[in-house]
Amino acid sequence: MATVLAKTQSPASSGSAPEPEAVVVRFAGDSGDGMQLTGGQFTLSTALAGNDLATFPDFPAEIRAPQGTLFGVSAFQINFGSTAIDTAGDAPDVLVAMNPAALKTNVQALKPGGLIIADSGEFTKRNLEKAKYAVSPLDDGSLAKWDVMAFDISALTLEAVKPFGLGNKEALRCKNMWTLGLALWMFDRDRAPLIQWLKDKFRKNPVLADANIAALNAGHAYGETAELAGPLKQHHLDPAPSPPGLYRTVTGAEAVSLGLVAGAQLAGLKMFFGGYPITPASAILHNLARLKEFGVTTFQAEDEIAAICSAIGASYAGQLGVTSSSGPGIALKGEAMGLAIMTELPLVIVNSQRGGPSTGLPTKTEQSDLYQAVYGRNGDAPLPVIAARSPADAFECAIEACRIAVQFMTPVILLTDGYIANAAEPWAVPDPETFATFPVSFLAEKNGDGVVLPFQRDERGVRPWIKPGTPGLMHRIGGIEKGIDTGAIDYSPAVHQAQTDARKAKIDGVAKSTPAQDVIVGNTAGKLAVVGWGSTYGPITQAVRRARAKGLDVSHIHVRHIWPLPENLGELLKGFDKVLVPEMNTGQFKTVLRDQYLVDARPLTKTSGQPFTIAEIEAAIADQLA
Amino acid sequence: MNDMTPPNALGAKVQTTLKDWETDQEVRWCPGCGDYAILKAVQRTLPELGADPASTVFVSGIGCSSRFPYYVESYGFHTIHGRAPAVATGIKLANPQLDIWLVTGDGDGMSIGGNHTMHLLRRNLNCQIMLFNNEIYGLTKGQYSPTSRVGTSSPTTPLGSVDRPALPCAFALGSGARFIARAYDTGKQLGDVLKAAYHHHGAAFVEIFQNCIVYNKDVFADFTEKAVADGHQLWVKHGEPMLFAKGAKGIALDRAALTLKVVDVVDGDWQAAEVIVHDVTNRSVAHMLVEAPFGPFPMALGVIYDDPRPTYEDAVLGQDAKAREGKDHDLAKLLAKGQTWTVGNTAADPA
């Protein structure tokens, strides 16, 4: 992506200077300033303009941290352009800072020559103190390497909404719409969809709708007037080339929710979702609670354990049980996962990973629950693990998790992370007619010689699903070791050996039903394979493209099926001299690959709570091939 | 006052015998364990209720009592320690037609699973909860439990336990339970108590005193033994005066202290002694009965409280059904919801 708003560019955007291919904008303000909302609406407008995009909402764990403080800053970054966009962008071209704290915590990320838009009205003595500035950075020349546009957004907003007679506090809450109006002008966007959205949002309070629309229009008008002087200029980015079709934006949490609904429909089942509020996973429970017409029952349980146990109960009774959480909650669910493995009931467990251990970084992203997903239970307790690589990919992954769960009578873990859950990207709306169904059949009559054999396995090692309420098929299941076929309590040595082997073989066999591992970018053999999983997809794929453009022999492999691994992955990796595994943990997938294939996989790790930048991975590739 | 639960939710009453409710499994409780008596009482009661094995589900946690489902010829789920109420909630919400019997113990239901017990009762999930209280951890070899009396000597409390015991029925009432009953393993009234629990539409909490003959032998003998039963058992019955000791004693209200008191009844004139007539819908008296200390007071047994309220599954599924009314469930429409745009074959043309 180009550095687009550098000082070297000519002041007039039309004609003389080429338009940038991509722009990165970061909105930063107090957690009460509505930055996530501003970012979300700007994202929508970007999508409607036909640009490709990726976003990165980055907010504190506190809901309303004390105003003006450094730790209370909430930011939303969006990368958009006329070419394919895979990441939220390494460094912003534009930083909108609503107060001194927002400036201080974000300005170092800004590209040299980038543009700062600051609300000078908030640069008061008190706010400067809270941000630990001795002197206002707007005055002391410390921002010299950037362009600074500072104006009193607060006063301008108050002026714009004056006719509506709002109180000072309410009037100032329109600041984010003023800012959005300015941003819309900067990138030549249509205001109409936003105005309609505000009318809908404040349907019950038309005065607030009018005030916000007035603020939006005023910000837009300010851009038009301000263009005459200073570095603020208008840019028009052409739509990105995309395959024709219907598009919408989707966050990972939305995509998971929709994928689960689709998955249950494809299985021909009702869905039961047991959840317990936890950041950043709660959005899935919120979404599904509004989709009852799709045969979804949601249950806010008393704790994480009850959430998974209720889902297991629902699966036992013949629905598709689903539960969702983040790392700490998944840890609590561990014992119940073992019960689902032991009783061989279908279950989908979604883990929206966050920084850990313990409470860790509730609102920041990490990929550090891979060991937990693959290995984190007592006993030999294998279960399939799938990882989504992007918000849109999470839709297909959720369907895949449902398919494996019901076809193999097993719990399945779907890994996303805080970044995927919150980030939005354009999504080509899929046509459900094109999805392959996987209808479930329940046992209807005795499968033994006049007896029910609840654990009689088919050729794939899968037991029948028997709904309680079915006449004549009464039987008992439980977490205690069971006899072959019968399910009666039996923990004799030979039986435990045989059942452990059978459980392992069944899960290993899932790989026969999953696609062979492909190569995303580059050749199927060569000097270096960069092997990723989950949300590192964007930066890896861009970094590999750039490295290849420089003539480096490098390929990108991105693994969706973390367990069991694709059957051809070992052979594929053997075709490369070196293997590099970038991941947002201390090297967990690297260890799995080494263990499974005795391959000398090298780690590239990051645990700052922030996604990889393209540059970081590009540098690591160069290092490996030096 | 009882909404009758349909005797067989999936259809008409089913004719069965005790034998029909026995499985081929060898029962693995210690010889002489009180659990045997409870199992027999259940197997004897289910045919009398006309229950259908196909629509009956026994759900349990972990502990001696929780092996129960393996011995009942119905659907059964032996889950994990303390979590049976949560599993049962999922089962019932997925299929409210199923009749659920939850089997738990003082360790399973009051200690590791106390939270789930509380929430199941608060929500009022329609099921029967049988809490086998033997005041000890049996399956782990005799450690003291949350219902053990102060001074209980056990492997983990060699000098005697110092913490005060929980009262399961008081806990249940405090959690919002609408049905509270007490019985004991070998008592002939257990079947009637279970029938009342079955007919209560909602969560029915039954504490069953159970004699662990290995680790806490005869801990309830001071009211279950034949010789002392009359003087120390108060069987409460709706509409009848609270009399015990063959009618020579009764329970009355100490109006000054606002507590219960034991009064002597002379010549059967319980009215003169102001003995309370049991009203199963009186929550205040229920609280006093389950809190009354044994010793000064007899052990209150039978249906102590029974005042139904709408159940959780009716509320949830009713709300779900209402939310679904008139709404289509077209997946294609759902996926294309929100603000969308179309990309044409040449340039993008925002919708």
Give the chain A residue whose CA is nearest to the CA of B100.
A468
Model confidence at A8, pLDDT cuts 50, 70, 90, reads very low
**Is B346 in the A-facing interface, judged by CB distances under 8 Å?**
no
Question: Taking residues A511-524, what's their average pLDDT?
Answer: 98
**Is B272 in the A-facing interface, judged by CB distances under 8 Å?**
no
Residue with tokens 């249906």: B303
Q: If contacts are CB pairs under 8 Å, which of residues 49-68 in chain B contact chain A? A: 53-55, 57, 59, 62
Give the chain A residue whose CA is nearest to the CA of B119.
A302
**Is B320 in the A-facing interface, judged by CB distances under 8 Å?**
yes
Residue with tokens 């714009």: A160
The answer to whether A63 and A264 are in contact (CB under 8 A) is no
Is the predicted pLDDT of residue A6 greater than 60, yes or no?
A: no
Q: What is the spatial order of strands in the sheet that A115-119 belongs to?
A: A52-58, A73-81, A22-30, A94-97, A115-119, A147-151
The answer to whether A98 and A180 are in contact (CB under 8 A) is no
Q: Pick from B75, B81, B115, B118 the residue to mutate for testing the A interface (most A CBs within 10 Å).
A: B75
Q: How close is the nearest chain B Cα to the Cα of A240, in Å?
A: 8
Residue with tokens 């570095």: A231
In whole angstroms, what is the distance from residue A369 CA to residue A355 CA?
9
Backbone dihedral region for residue B124 (phi beyond 0: left; psi -120 to 50: alpha; all else: beta) = left
Cα–Cα distances (Å) from A535 to A87, A417, A587, A589, in that order, read 9, 7, 15, 13
In a domain, B135, yes or no: yes
Q: Is the dihedral of CA A322, B113, B119, B103 positive or negative?
A: positive
Query: Contact A306/B83, CB-based, under 8 Å?
Result: yes
Cα–Cα–Cα angle for A615, A621, A623, rounded to 5 degrees: 105
The answer to whether A507 and A474 are in contact (CB under 8 A) is no
In a domain, B143, yes or no: yes
Query: Contact A301/B336, CB-based, under 8 Å?
Result: no
In whole angstroms, what is the distance from residue B117 CA to residue B123 CA?
10
Domain that holds residue B181: 18-219+310-314
Model confidence at A230, pLDDT cuts 50, 70, 90, reads low
In a domain, B113, yes or no: yes
In a domain, B295, yes or no: no
Is the predicted pLDDT of residue A553 greater than 80, yes or no?
A: yes
Residue with tokens 């989504």: A388
Which of A354, A452, A485, A460 is CA-nearest to residue A407? A460
What amino acid occupies position A40?
G
Is the predicted pLDDT of residue A16 greater than 50, yes or no?
A: no
**Is A295 in the B-facing interface, judged by CB distances under 8 Å?**
yes
Is the predicted pLDDT of residue A227 greater than 50, yes or no?
A: yes
Which of B148, B120, B143 is CA-nearest to residue B133? B148
Which among A242, A305, A315 is the nearest to B83, CB-wise? A305
Model confidence at A66, pLDDT cuts 50, 70, 90, reads confident
**Residue A64 confidence (pLDDT):** 76
* Coil vs helix vs strand at A252: helix
**Residue A224 confidence (pLDDT):** 85
SS3 letters across chain B: CCCCCCCCCCCCCCCCCHHHHECCCCCCCCCCCHHHHHHHHHHHHHHHHCCCHHHEEEEECCCCHHHHHHHECCEEEECCCCCHHHHHHHHHHHCCCCEEEEEEEHHHHHHHCHHHHHHHHHHCCCEEEEEEECCEECCCCCEECCCCCCCCCECCECCCCCCCCCCHHHHHHHCCCCEEEEEECCCCCHHHHHHHHHHCCCEEEEEEECCCCCCCCCCCHHHHCHHHHHHHEEEECCCCECEECCCCEEEEEECCCCEEEEEECCCCCCCCCCECECCCCCHHHHHHHHHCCECCECEEEEEEEECCCCCHHHHHHHHHHHHHCCCCCCHHHHHCCCCEEEECCCCEECC
Query: Contact B88/A313, CB-based, under 8 Å?
Result: yes
Residue with tokens 């994990």: B80
The answer to whether B2 and B199 are in contact (CB under 8 A) is yes
In whole angstroms, what is the distance from residue A232 CA to residue B46 CA?
81
Question: Taking residues B154-162, what's their average pLDDT?
Answer: 97
Residues of A in contact with B90 (CB under 8 A): 272, 274, 299, 309-317, 321
Which pair of structure tokens corresponds to residue B171? 């806990």
* Coil vs helix vs strand at A137: coil
Question: Taking residues A461-489, what's their average pLDDT?
Answer: 97
Residue with tokens 């070297």: A8
In whole angstroms, what is the distance from residue B144 CA to residue B137 CA?
6
Which pair of structure tokens corresponds to residue A299? 């249950």
Query: Contact B343/A299, CB-based, under 8 Å?
Result: no
Give the chain A residue whose CA is nearest to the CA of B320.
A292
Instruction: Residue B106: give its domain's CATH number.
Output: 3.40.50.970
In whole angstroms, what is the distance from residue B60 CA to residue A567 CA?
40
Backbone dihedral region for residue B50 (phi beyond 0: left; psi -120 to 50: alpha; all else: beta) = left
Which among B80, B95, B350 is the nearest to A339, CB-wise? B80
Question: Taking residues B122-142, what's their average pLDDT?
Answer: 97
DSSP H or E stretch at residue A83: none
* Coil vs helix vs strand at A180: helix
Which among B76, B83, B119 is the nearest to A336, CB-wise? B83
DSSP H or E stretch at residue A566: none
**Residue B328 confidence (pLDDT):** 86
Query: Contact B115/A303, CB-based, under 8 Å?
Result: yes
**Residue B4 confidence (pLDDT):** 43
In whole angstroms, what is the distance from residue B16 CA to residue A125 CA?
84
Is the predicted pLDDT of residue A5 greater than 80, yes or no?
A: no
Q: How close is the nearest chain A Cα to the Cα of B349, in Å?
A: 8
In whole angstroms, what is the distance from residue B85 CA to residue B68 CA?
15
The answer to whether A120 and A138 are in contact (CB under 8 A) is yes
In a domain, B51, yes or no: yes
Residues 6+ apart with CB under 8 A from A454: A463, A464, A466, A475, A477, A486, A487
**Residue A229 confidence (pLDDT):** 59
Give the chain B residue whose CA is nearest to the CA of A431.
B332
In whole angstroms, what is the distance from residue A65 CA to residue A109 CA?
22
In whole angstroms, what is the distance from residue A55 CA to residue A41 CA?
12
What is the pTM for the complete model shown?
A: 0.92
**Is A470 in the B-facing interface, judged by CB distances under 8 Å?**
yes
Residues of B in contact with A470 (CB under 8 A): 54
**Is A75 in the B-facing interface, judged by CB distances under 8 Å?**
no
Q: What is the pLDDT of residues B247-289, one digit of tens each?
A: 999 999 999 999 999 999 999 999 999 999 999 999 999 999 9
**Residue A21 confidence (pLDDT):** 87
Query: Contact B350/A302, CB-based, under 8 Å?
Result: no
Residues of B in contact with A472 (CB under 8 A): 54
**Is A316 in the B-facing interface, judged by CB distances under 8 Å?**
yes
Residues of A in contact with B62 (CB under 8 A): 479
* Coil vs helix vs strand at A508: helix
Q: What is the pLDDT of residues B25-68, one digit of tens each?
A: 999 999 999 999 999 999 999 999 999 999 999 999 999 999 99
Q: If contacts are CB pairs under 8 Å, which of residues 92-151 in chain B contact chain A? A: 92-95, 97-98, 115-116, 118-119
Query: Contact A274/B90, CB-based, under 8 Å?
Result: yes
Percent of chain A with pLDDT over 90: 87
**Residue A235 confidence (pLDDT):** 87
Residues of B in contact with A300 (CB under 8 A): none
How would you label A236-257 residue by residue, b for 16+ Cβ within 10 Å and e otherwise?
A: ebebbebeeebbbbbbbbbbbb
Strand partners, A351: A325, A415
Residues 6+ apart with CB under 8 A from B294: B222, B223, B232
DSSP A512: G
Which of A425, A537, A542 is CA-nearest to residue A53? A425
The count of CB pairs under 8 A between chains A and B is 218
Which of A295, A267, A302, A272 is CA-nearest to residue A285? A272
Mean pLDDT of chain B: 94
**Residue B343 confidence (pLDDT):** 82
**Residue A11 confidence (pLDDT):** 37
Which pair of structure tokens corresponds to residue B50? 């006309």
SS3 letters across A344-408: CCCEEEEEEECECCCCCECCCCCCCCHHHHHHCCCCCCCCCEEECCCCCHHHHHHHHHHHHHHHH
Model confidence at A242, pLDDT cuts 50, 70, 90, reads confident
How would you label B276-297 residue by residue, b for 16+ Cβ within 10 Å and e otherwise?
A: bebbbebeebbbbbbebeeeeb
Query: Contact A306/B115, CB-based, under 8 Å?
Result: yes
Give the chain B residue whose CA is nearest to the CA of A239.
B348
Query: Contact A310/B327, CB-based, under 8 Å?
Result: no
Give the chain B residue whose CA is nearest to the CA of A47.
B341
| Highest mean pLDDT of the ranges A143-157, A233-247, A413-427, A555-569 | A555-569
A564 upstream amide cis, omega within 30 of 0:
yes
The string of DSSP codes covering A181-203 is HHHHHHTT--SHHHHHHHHHHTT
Residues of A in contact with B16 (CB under 8 A): none
Which of A294, A362, A356 is CA-nearest to residue A322? A294
DSSP A92: -
**Is B324 in the A-facing interface, judged by CB distances under 8 Å?**
yes
Query: Contact B70/A489, CB-based, under 8 Å?
Result: yes
In whole angstroms, what is the distance from residue A397 CA to residue A378 CA?
26
In whole angstroms, what is the distance from residue A588 CA to residue B147 CA?
45
Q: If contacts are CB pairs under 8 Å, which of residues 76-95 in chain B contact chain A? A: 76-80, 83, 85-95
In a domain, B229, yes or no: no
Query: Contact A468/B341, CB-based, under 8 Å?
Result: no
In a domain, B320, yes or no: no
In whole angstroms, what is the distance from residue B182 CA to residue A28 CA?
62
Q: What is the pLDDT of residues A293-339, one digit of tens each?
A: 999 999 999 999 999 999 999 999 999 999 999 999 999 999 999 99
Number of domains in chain B: 1
Query: Contact A310/B70, CB-based, under 8 Å?
Result: no
**Residue B12 confidence (pLDDT):** 62
Burial of B275: CB neighbours in 10 Å, binned 0-12, 13-18, 19+: buried
What amino acid occupies position A16?
S
In a domain, B200, yes or no: yes
The answer to whether A51 and A29 are in contact (CB under 8 A) is no
What amino acid occupies position A50?
G
Residue with tokens 């047994």: B301
Q: Pick from B8, B72, B77 the residue to mutate for testing the A interface (most A CBs within 10 Å).
A: B77
Is the predicted pLDDT of residue B7 greater than 70, yes or no?
A: no
Please compute Rg for chain B using Cα positions: 24
A280 upstream amide cis, omega within 30 of 0:
yes
Q: How close is the nearest chain B Cα to the Cα of A499, in Å?
A: 18
